[in-house]
Amino acid sequence: MVEPGHKRGRGAADSPKSRAGQDGKPILRARAPLRISFAGGGTDVSPYPEERGGAVLSATINKYAYASLVGENGGDIRVQSLDYDIVAKYHTESDLLYDGELDLVKAAIRHMAVGRGFGLFLHTDAPPGSGLGSSSTMAVTLVGALAHWLRQPMTNYEIAQLAYHIEREDLAIKGGKQDQYAAAFGGFNFIEFLGSGVVVNPLRVPQALVNELEYRLLLCYTGNTRLSANILERQIAGYVQKQETVVEALDATKETAIALKNALLQGRLDDFGQLLHRGWELKKRFDTAVTSPHIDAMYAAARQAGAVGGKILGAGGGGYLLLFCEFEKKHHVARRLEEMGGQLVEFGFEWEGLQTWEAPG
Question: Could you give the residue range(s) of every CATH 3.30.70.890 domain in the chain?
Answer: 207-344
Across the range 8-19, mean pLDDT stands at: 38
Question: Could you give the residue range(s) of every CATH 3.30.230.10 domain in the chain?
Answer: 12-203+353-359
Across the range 204-217, mean pLDDT stands at: 97
- pLDDT, residue 16, reads 42
Residues 29-75 have pLDDT tens digits of 999 999 999 999 999 999 999 999 999 999 999 999 999 999 877 78
Q: Which of 9-23, 57-71, 288-302 has the lowest mean pLDDT?
A: 9-23
- pLDDT, residue 55, reads 98
Across the range 282-291, mean pLDDT stands at: 90
State the pLDDT confidence band at 11, using cuts at 50, 70 and 90: very low
Q: How far apart are CA 255 and CA 127, in angstroms?
A: 31
Q: Is 179 a catalytic residue?
A: yes
Can you count the helices (H) and strands (E) in the chain?
Answer: 12, 12
Q: How far apart are CA 222 and CA 139, in angstroms?
A: 25
- pLDDT, residue 18, reads 40
State the pLDDT confidence band at 3, using cuts at 50, 70 and 90: very low
Across the range 292-296, mean pLDDT stands at: 92
Of the candidates 44, 179, 270, 296, the residue annotated as catalytic is: 179
- pLDDT, residue 7, reads 32
Supply the CATH classification number for the domain 207-344: 3.30.70.890
Across the range 260-276, mean pLDDT stands at: 96
Encode 44-58: b = buried (16+ Cβ within 10 Å), e = exposed.
Answer: bbbebbeeeebbbbb
Encode 117-145: b = buried (16+ Cβ within 10 Å), e = exposed.
Answer: bbbbbbbbbbeebbbbbbbbbbbbbbbbb
Decide yes or no: CATH 3.30.230.10 for domain 12-203+353-359: yes
Q: Which of 21-25, 111-115, 272-276 has the lowest mean pLDDT?
A: 21-25
Sign of dihedral through CA atoms 230, 235, 236, 242? positive
DSSP class of 181: H
133: pLDDT strictly greater than 70: yes
State the pLDDT confidence band at 229, using cuts at 50, 70 and 90: low
What is the number of alpha carbons within 13 Å of residue 47 lying toward its C-beta? 7
